[in-house]
């Protein structure tokens, strides 16, 4: 059976809403997928501002924005369906929403985008609130994408997503998939590029002209988060506040800040790989990776378009016998929307869609709230 699902993803970099209409099929336990139509709707300045400042709202205003954004998502989906002639074809919408608060230690996460409003506007069934169950069971609630990597992209050994936050995932052994947030990535790079009036540093051209500020790099790499064992995840404020304030304190040109932060991302990705290859969450444990076979790392997210960052990753990972692979643009840009579609479908099928080995909760779980937009 072919399932026809729309996946929605809004990342922490606030660049826009990714919409992917996917055909998913399961045959004897093996999943396959096809991108049918995709689009990215850049947020107008007004919506970018609303989402960026949502965490400072009162409880009432936050809930009003939650509903408003759900209706806005619905209008974008309806426009996407109209533009692509998809009327009466879409069986399900799986919406990640836009993350605002993320407090794993308190068992709480919040994503804007009321699923009921989205279902009401589109008259299509919706799965939303994808992370909440995992947190309720004691997990980190992030990353949740590895279930898609496990089921849809088995030909790769490593997965690196360079979005607003960089996260890494891999099989530690055949039955154990691990993943965690590495460090803020494009969110920080984009804010640094904005100092020069740019939305982002295209291809990393400005960073390539800069110089590494070694003291700043050392301070960044000494931040306590990087010494914590996995599973672990990051809130957006780590990039906007902790790292943003640290970089601002050095008062260096934007090109040097971009160059330094690019090196920080590369260093932390390599460090995260070395940590996982020890086979333990204890950074001081014994063991070392076997370099005999070259492993393939799928690199996706907006940062995969940054050729300077991608080149530095290739240089740094070569001694570890890991080859970064940048796939076609559709998978680079819409991998997370694809996985949201799968997660929503698994929820509809009442099958596990969150892996305990990734999130650190008590067991695998079925996450997501189901809203019936279609009449019974």
Q: Are residues 239 and 304 in the same domain?
A: yes
Q: Are residues 256 and 124 in the same domain?
A: no
DSSP designation for 159:
E
Structure-model confidence comparison of residues 29 and 321, the more confident one:
321
Whether residue 5 has pLDDT greater than 50: yes
Q: Are residues 301 and 348 in the same domain?
A: no
Structure-model confidence comparison of residues 287 and 28, the more confident one:
28
Which pLDDT tens digit goes with each residue over 243-276? Answer: 999 999 999 999 999 999 999 999 999 999 998 8
Q: Does any domain span residue 145?
A: no
Q: Does any domain span residue 64?
A: yes
CA distance 11 to 184: 12
Candidates 332, 368, 371, 352; CA nearest to 160 is 332
Whether residue 289 has pLDDT greater than 70: no
Domain that holds residue 318: 150-327
Residue 287: pLDDT band (50, 70, 90) is very low
Average pLDDT score over residue span 156-166:
94
Average pLDDT score over residue span 147-151:
92
Cβ neighbourhood burial of 284 (10 Å; 0-12, 13-18, 19+): exposed
Q: Does any domain span residue 318?
A: yes
Give residue 301's pLDDT.
92
| Structural element, H or E, at residue 186 | helix 186-194
Q: Does any domain span residue 376?
A: no
Whether residue 282 has pLDDT greater than 50: no
Average pLDDT score over residue span 183-188:
95
Task: Output the pTM of the full model.
Answer: 0.87
Average pLDDT score over residue span 317-325:
96
Average pLDDT score over residue span 80-91:
97
Q: Does any domain span residue 76?
A: yes
Mean pLDDT, all residues of the chain:
92
Whether residue 227 has pLDDT greater than 60: yes
Give residue 29's pLDDT.
87
Q: Are residues 167 and 299 in the same domain?
A: yes
Average pLDDT score over residue span 211-222:
98
CA distances from 111 to 124, 195, 216 (A): 20, 28, 33
Q: Are residues 102 and 86 in the same domain?
A: yes
Whether residue 142 has pLDDT greater than 70: yes
Average pLDDT score over residue span 37-64:
96
Q: Are residues 293 and 261 in the same domain?
A: yes
CA distance 90 to 95: 14
Whether residue 191 has pLDDT greater than 60: yes
Average pLDDT score over residue span 105-109:
90
Average pLDDT score over residue span 191-199:
94
DSSP designation for 53:
T
CATH code for the domain in which residue 66 is found: 3.30.420.40
CA distance 287 to 280: 9
Q: Are residues 244 and 355 in the same domain?
A: no
How many residues are there in the chain? 376
DSSP designation for 365:
B
Q: Does any domain span residue 285?
A: yes
Give residue 215's pLDDT.
98
Domain boundary residue, one of 308, 327, 346? 327
Whether residue 285 has pLDDT greater than 80: no
Residue 96: pLDDT band (50, 70, 90) is very high
Copy the structure tokens of residue 140.
């980190």
Copy the structure tokens of residue 209.
């002209």
Q: Does any domain span residue 284?
A: yes
Whether residue 283 has pLDDT greater than 70: no
Which pLDDT tens digit goes with each residue over 114-134? Answer: 999 999 999 999 999 999 999
Q: Are residues 300 and 156 in the same domain?
A: yes
Whether residue 100 has pLDDT greater than 90: yes
Q: Are residues 319 and 338 in the same domain?
A: no
CA distance 94 to 190: 27
Q: Are residues 244 and 322 in the same domain?
A: yes
Whether residue 242 has pLDDT greater than 80: yes
Whether residue 210 has pLDDT greater than 50: yes
Q: Are residues 292 and 361 in the same domain?
A: no
Residue 347: CB atoms within 10 Å? 24
Q: Are residues 73 and 101 in the same domain?
A: yes
In DSSP terms, 171 is beta-bridged to: 177
CA distance 167 to 169: 7
Instruction: Please tell me the total count of domains within the chain.
Output: 2
Residue 85: CB atoms within 10 Å? 8
**Secondary structure class of 21 (helix, strand, coil):** strand
Whether residue 176 has pLDDT greater than 80: no
Q: At how many degrees (to 10) do helices 115-122 and 59-84 cross?
A: 30
């Amino acid at each position: 059976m072919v399932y026809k699902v729309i996946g929605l993803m809004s990342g922490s970099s606030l660049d826009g809403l990714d919409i992917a209409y996917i055909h998913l099929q399961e045959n004897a336990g093996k999943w396959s997928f096809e991108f049918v139509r995709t689009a990215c709707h850049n947020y107008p300045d007004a919506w970018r501002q609303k989402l960026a400042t949502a965490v400072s709202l009162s409880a009432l205003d936050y809930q009003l924005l939650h509903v408003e954004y759900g209706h806005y998502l619905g209008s974008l989906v309806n426009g996407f369906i109209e533009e692509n002639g998809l009327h009466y074809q879409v069986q399900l919408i799986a919406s990640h929403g836009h993350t605002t608060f993320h407090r794993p230690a308190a068992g709480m996460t919040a994503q804007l985008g009321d699923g009921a409003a989205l279902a009401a506007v589109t008259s299509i069934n919706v799965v939303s609130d994808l992370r909440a169950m995992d947190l309720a069971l004691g997990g980190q609630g992030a990353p949740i994408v590895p279930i898609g990597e496990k089921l849809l992209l088995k030909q790769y050994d490593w997965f690196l997503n360079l979005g607003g936050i960089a996260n890494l995932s891999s099989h530690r052994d055949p039955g154990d998939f691990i993943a965690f947030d590495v460090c803020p990535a494009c969110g920080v790079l984009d804010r640094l590029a904005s100092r020069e009036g740019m939305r982002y540093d295209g291809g990393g051209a400005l960073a390539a002209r800069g110089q590494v500020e070694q003291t700043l790099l050392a301070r960044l790499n000494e931040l306590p988060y990087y010494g914590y064992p996995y599973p672990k995840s990051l809130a957006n404020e780590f990039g906007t506040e902790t790292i943003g304030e640290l970089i601002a304190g050095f008062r260096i040109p934007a090109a040097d800040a971009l160059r330094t932060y690019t090196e920080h991302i590369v260093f932390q990705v390599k460090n995260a790989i070395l940590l996982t290859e020890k086979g333990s969450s204890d950074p001081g444990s014994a063991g070392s990776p076997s370099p005999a076979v070259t492993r393939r790392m799928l690199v996706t997210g907006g940062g995969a378009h940054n050729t300077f960052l991608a080149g530095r990753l290739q240089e740094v990972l070569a001694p570890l016998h890991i080859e970064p692979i940048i796939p076609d643009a559709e998978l680079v840009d819409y991998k997370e929307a694809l996985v949201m579609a799968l997660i929503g479908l698994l929820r509809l099928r009442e099958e596990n869609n969150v892996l305990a080995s990734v999130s650190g909760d008590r067991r695998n779980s079925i996450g997501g709230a189901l809203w019936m937009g279609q009449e019974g």
